[in-house]
Structure 1
Amino acid sequence: MAQNPPPTKHHRRVVDYCSDEEEEDEEFVIEEELNKLSALIETSLANAFGFACCDELAVDENLETKRLSAHLRLILTPLSSSKKEEMKNACEECLTTLWRVLRDESCGWDKPTYRECFVLSSLRLSLCTLLEGNLQEAMECLDTALILGCPGEMARPFVRLLEKLLRRSAGGGNRASSNSLVKKQKVAAREKALVVDNVLPSSSSLVPKILHPLERMNDNATWEEFKVMYFNKDMPVQLPSDKSMPCVEKWRDLAYFKERFGKRLIPLEVGKYDDVENWKEEIVPLEVFIDEHLAPDILKKGDKNSFVSYLAQHQLFEQIPQLAMDFEIPTWCNAGQFERCNIWLGTSNTITPCHFDSYDNIFGQVFGYKFVRLYLESDSQFMYKSGGDWETTRSWNVKDNDDRDADDNSEKKETKKKFRNAQGNISRVDVEAPDLEKFPEFAKATPMDVILGPGDFIYIPSRTWHYVRSLTVSCSLNFLF
């Protein structure tokens, strides 16, 4: 019989990626690479879904949607110098229209064809922009497409070409002066206090007392014991820690992210989760997130942070696969079929309200600290599950909105409230400060608490209620299976 795999070992990467940064690109010819990518759009992607997308958009009664179809047909034709400007304009008009539909209308992208059109327009625009020599703008096109649903494997050849060109552009000139510049950048970054201190601030008002600790597995427990005692019983548990992953030490120096990937765009949630009026989503460069959000919070040294922002539940490793080389999928995920990995990077005091998911979840802390409170599925009768309407089914404080009729954006705000909790899997109770007069049955629910630090992991079974609050600037990964 085969031996059990050690519980802290890993078995595979989230994304298949082979770094070619050290390779010599002497044989690299940009025209050939561009032709390959252009042909990919005109043949493989066009035949897979592009032409069908055109046909579906064309039969829509909306004239604007019909124009999208006409533009997309042009986008799918072979790229030539004579048509480059016309094709670029078609891409930009498609993207402008689709952005407006996504942001301004209550239904958002209610058709798969909208997302498909956005992805194809973004990929083509990246090539048109690249031909003009605007490498960073071309990468921003790809990042936006990836953020809004482009599959990572589809965009990867485009991203890799741009990475090669950006490295070549940055590597020009004298090697010594280039190395000197890099050293100066590293020193400057560290002077800005970009290193996260992996110490839990005991004096911070953010740190709760643990009265009902989550059960912890023995450090020598086997994978089979995990499956029999916890996975098969849908029982949450704290798993053995693993600080051997390169990301645990490497990523807490935010200068690494800033120097390597600072220009890359990311989706950001800005504002406290319970402040519906001011909460918003933005797409910003990673370096802006670090300099304007994370660095100021690090300098507070554990004091309560009033400015909250979160790179939340994002598949960053499809977008920047190099980062996936710094960790591997935990062996515990062998209990099921691995689906995806998300990153959660943010300031202190970010909150994910109490909810449940349909996937099993291995949640791991990379750096910083988070407080997690869990409730078994059997406590669902006490959790006051939301019905989907954000305004009427939540217990978080909401400002009086009697003056909304005078607000030109009132309809948009109402729509935003309704759709933020459309899944109906969120508890109406603030589990750290419950209103037991309004939710008396909640007192019967039994919490399980844990504070996670660097290298700590927990298993959260599907349909297990869980609430998460960051105690410091922190980064987490969750592996869904």
Structure 2
Amino acid sequence: MARLWSKISALLPHNEEQFPLQFSDKVESSVVEMLKRSRLQLYSDSTSASRMLNAQIILDFSWEKLNMGTWRLVDKEWRRVYSYGCLFKVGALCREDPSADEVLQAVRTCDMGLLMGAAIMDNVLQVIVQILQDEVRKSTKEEDKNDLTEAKRIKMESPRIPVIKEELAVPRIKCPSLESFNTNYLLPLKPVILEGIIEHWPALNQHPWSIEYLRSVAGCRTVPVEVGSRYTDEEWSQTLLTVNEFIDRYILNKDGGKGVGYLAQHQLFDQIPELKEDIRPPDYCCLGEGDEDDITVNAWFGPGGTVSPLHQDPQQNFLAQVVGSKYIRLYSPEDTDKLYPHQSQLLHNTSQVEVENPDTERFPEFAKAPYVECVLQPGDVLYIPVRHWHYVRSLELSFSVSFWWS
């Protein structure tokens, strides 16, 4: 494992003097001194325990700062402090002869820095985690055959596909020109399913996404997971799990646990570049006002039965289906009054109505709201116009990618 530290140290400045540690006066001098002490230890022969202790003090102190109030009000300086703490902890874990468990702990530490911190030193944590992940792959044995058998069983189970009446079906069109899409769907804000526009994605052909593939490229990575079948449920919560833990617990149900978990987040593709390289923003996004950097890309991975309650988003949306199928229903923003949005500011963009089992006494106008619906299959891309209400239910194990753009 000595070669592991040589690879990591090659990414760092050659000496302590070249290692940047500059903060505004928002960061207490005592914290800056602790950072400088950890920097010194990075280039000296301190004990592993001493390095770990100082790094953990930095992490604990900055973690409190990150969790003192609303996330958007957290000063970026404290996010940078947290990232430096993660870097120093990785140094403490990997400096000598790390065990396999210590390498995994270092991967998690990098992920926490990527999720909660801010980029430092040309986003060095992202580069380090790739080196660590390669080390994990070398030492990881082939997946248990029982896992593969269970994954294949899940794929073979046929979902119950709802019957879509022709008059309610979202229209489908194959590879329309930019001008045709703009005139017939974007400007009038009409939902449509676009066929044949993502067939070139590696995620659909060169190395199709699957449980096995996700394990191979991201199994040891720590990601945010939504626990609960829908975010409006009282028991809904969020937690951090490795991708392997998520698959074992909520896809394969290895521990016999109940409940539904859903990997739904916009940072997955920044965290795991291998997955980002497997997809491409639809060409039609160029009709928007921003450039490609302004597109928000979200991952949605979970078992059948997961529901996104009827809600609306403030941007245009292309929902691309990669694995499995989903039932989707859409309502025009013109019928918002019939959809009974929550009164609270937090959920004002979400309907109170349970779409497929509505309470007609509480919500009598809901039945009068016209809608269109569809079943999205692998390779389909649904255009969801800005502020159009949409309800989504996974019919089986499903992986989708959404592109939000203005």
TM interval, short-chain normalised = 0.7 to 0.9
Rate the CA distance shift 1:272–1:223 in 2: closer, same or farther, 3 A. Answer: same
1:435 to 346, 355, 359: 359
Rate the CA distance shift 1:166–1:148 in 2: closer, same or farther, 3 A. Answer: closer
Rate the CA distance shift 1:37–1:139 in 2: closer, same or farther, 3 A. Answer: farther
Q: What amino acid maps onto 1:136 in structure 2?
A: L
Rate the CA distance shift 1:192–1:349 in 2: closer, same or farther, 3 A. Answer: closer
Q: Give the aligned partner of residue 35 of structure 1.
A: 12
Q: What amino acid maps onto 1:425 in structure 2?
A: N
Matches within 5 A, 1:316-465: 316-336=268-288, 337=290, 338=292, 339-388=295-344, 422=346, 424-465=348-389
Q: Within the alignment, does 1:140 sit opposite 2:108 as a pair?
A: yes
Alpha-carbon distance in structure 2 between the residues aligned to 1:433 and 1:41: 63
Alpha-carbon distance in structure 1 between the residues aligned to 2:191 and 2:88: 46
Q: Give the aligned partner of residue 211 of structure 2.
A: 254
Rate the CA distance shift 1:95–1:153 in 2: closer, same or farther, 3 A. Answer: closer
Deviation at 1:332, TM superposition (A): 1.8
Q: Within the alignment, does 1:201 sit opposite 2:159 as a pair?
A: yes
Q: Which runs of 5+ in 2 are unaligned?
A: none
Q: What amino acid maps onto 1:139 in structure 2?
A: V
Matches within 5 A, 1:235-250: 235-241=190-196, 242-248=198-204, 250=207
Q: Give the aligned partner of residue 251 of structure 2.
A: 294
Rate the CA distance shift 1:41–1:287 in 2: closer, same or farther, 3 A. Answer: farther
Q: Give the aligned partner of residue 279 of structure 1.
A: 236
Q: What amino acid maps onto 2:74 in structure 1?
A: K
Rate the CA distance shift 1:136–1:442 in 2: closer, same or farther, 3 A. Answer: same
Alpha-carbon distance in structure 1 between the residues aligned to 2:16 and 2:320: 41
Secondary structure of 2:358 counterpart: coil
Q: Give the aligned partner of residue 13 of structure 1.
A: none
Q: Note the alpha carbon deviations across 1:13-35, whole angstroms, 9 max, x for none.
A: xxxxxxxxxxxxx9x95375143
Rate the CA distance shift 1:441–1:290 in 2: closer, same or farther, 3 A. Answer: same
Q: Within the alignment, does 1:160 sit opposite 2:84 as a pair?
A: no
CA contact (8 A) 1:195 1:254 kept: no
Deviation at 1:231, TM superposition (A): 1.2
Q: Give the aligned partner of residue 93 of structure 2.
A: 129
Deviation at 1:344, TM superposition (A): 0.4
CA contact (8 A) 2:66 2:74 kept: no
Alpha-carbon distance in structure 2 between the residues aligned to 1:437 and 1:69: 61
Deviation at 1:308, TM superposition (A): 0.9
1:93 to 35, 38, 57: 57
Alpha-carbon distance in structure 1 between the residues aligned to 2:15 and 2:339: 52
Deviation at 1:256, TM superposition (A): 1.8
Secondary structure of 2:359 counterpart: coil
Alpha-carbon distance in structure 1 between the residues aligned to 2:381 and 2:348: 27
CA contact (8 A) 1:34 1:127 kept: no
Tell which has more relative contact order, 1 or 2 (C-alpha 8 A, sep 6+). 1
Deviation at 1:321, TM superposition (A): 0.1
Secondary structure of 2:352 counterpart: coil
Q: Within the alignment, does 1:213 sit opposite 2:168 as a pair?
A: yes
Q: What amino acid maps onto 2:95 in structure 1?
A: L
Q: Give the aligned partner of residue 191 of structure 1.
A: 149
Q: What amino acid maps onto 1:462 in structure 2?
A: V
Rate the CA distance shift 1:68–1:161 in 2: closer, same or farther, 3 A. Answer: closer
Deviation at 1:377, TM superposition (A): 1.9
Q: Note the alpha carbon deviations across 1:134-170, whole angstroms, 9 max, x for none.
A: 4322211111222336459953x43334433553676
Rate the CA distance shift 1:162–1:311 in 2: closer, same or farther, 3 A. Answer: closer
Rate the CA distance shift 1:77–1:229 in 2: closer, same or farther, 3 A. Answer: farther
Q: What amino acid maps onto 1:468 in structure 2?
A: V
Give percent identity, aligned residues only.
28
Q: Note the alpha carbon deviations across 1:431-470, whole angstroms, 9 max, x for none.
A: 2222232233333322221111111110112211111111
Q: Give the aligned partner of residue 231 of structure 1.
A: 186
CA contact (8 A) 2:328 2:374 kept: yes
2:74 to 102, 107, 111: 111
CA contact (8 A) 2:339 2:353 kept: yes
CA contact (8 A) 1:384 1:439 kept: yes
The size of the alignment, in residue pairs, is 388
Structure 2 length normalisation: TM-score? Answer: 0.81
Secondary structure of 1:322 counterpart: helix
